[in-house]
């Protein structure tokens, strides 16, 4: 397929978040069309989307069918440098992190579809709020990333104020126990004055 017109239009999108999100919507559409599977965005770019650009990620971490993603990115003019797919003109860096969400770290039931362009039918699929909060708490406690706890709080705020969003606190606690971050989760919930009831 000839993507030149869509990619040329992306070159005129100055806002990096909008440009990356629209590109991922195009990529997701094509991967779904070819493989029947929608790529899932994890990591920093998911934080960037959920916080509407307050967090900035240098690359887009994605899980999905490697063969389709690799082939389509190649057709779109990306070069593969070993760890990333790079398109200098668009200033977009894609990192493939596996075939699909891991049942141990990303709940399939909690994946979030975010519309990018209703008219064009473009959307992106992101890791769920709960799993992304746990991801940031892991970074804060186990990897000693200085601001990761703050971003966990921002994601929590986005989830609590978003429309049609319902946090599963039981699942959040289960993941926190499994990842040994219950202490930092308790601190986070205390900081935002949340004491969820069991079953909430």
pLDDT at 76: 95
Give every CB contact of residue 137 below 8 A, 6+ residues apart in sequence.
Answer: 148, 149, 152, 176, 179, 181, 184, 185, 188
Residue that is last in its domain, among 84, 107, 126? 126
140 and 43 fall within a common domain? no
109 and 185 fall within a common domain? no
Per-residue pLDDT tens digits for 82-113: 889 999 999 999 999 999 877 667 788 889 99
pLDDT at 103: 65
Structural domain includes residue 20: yes
Closest CA to 18 of 72, 69, 26: 26
Q: Compute CA distances 107 → 40, 101, 129, 151, 165, whole Å.
A: 11, 7, 10, 20, 15
Residues 111 and 126: beta-carbon distance below 8 Å: yes
63 and 90 fall within a common domain? yes
Phi-psi region of 164 (alpha: psi -120 to 50; beta: other; left: phi over 0): left
40 and 96 fall within a common domain? yes
Structural domain includes residue 74: yes
Per-residue pLDDT tens digits for 23-38: 999 999 999 999 999 9
Q: Cα–Cα distance between 51 and 4 in angstroms, integer?
A: 30
pTM (two decimals): 0.90
135 and 117 fall within a common domain? no
Structural domain includes residue 93: yes
Backbone angles phi, psi at 51, to 5 degrees: -100, 10
120 and 135 fall within a common domain? no
Domain hosting 44: range is 4-126
Would you call 124 helix, strand, or coil by DSSP?
strand
Structural domain includes residue 105: yes
């Amino acid at each position: 397929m000839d993507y030149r017109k869509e990619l040329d239009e992306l070159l005129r999108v100055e806002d990096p978040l909008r440009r990356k999100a629209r590109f991922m919507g195009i990529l997701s559409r094509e991967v779904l069309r070819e493989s029947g599977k929608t790529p899932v965005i994890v990591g920093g770019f998911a934080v960037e989307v959920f916080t509407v650009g307050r967090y900035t990620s240098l690359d887009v971490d994605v899980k999905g069918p490697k063969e389709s993603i690799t082939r389509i990115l190649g057709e779109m003019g990306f070069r593969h440098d070993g760890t990333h797919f790079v398109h200098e003109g668009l200033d977009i860096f894609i990192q493939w992190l596996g075939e699909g969400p891991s049942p141990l770290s990303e709940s399939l039931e909690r994946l979030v579809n975010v519309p990018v362009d209703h008219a064009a039918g473009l959307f992106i699929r992101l890791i769920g709020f709960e799993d992304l909060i746990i991801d940031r708490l892991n970074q804060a406690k186990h990897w000693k990333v200085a601001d990761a706890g703050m971003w966990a709080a921002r994601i929590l705020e986005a989830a609590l104020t978003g429309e049609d969003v319902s946090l599963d606190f039981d699942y959040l606690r289960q993941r926190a126990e499994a990842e040994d971050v219950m202490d930092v989760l308790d601190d986070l919930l205390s900081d935002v004055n949340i004491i969820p009831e069991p079953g909430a």
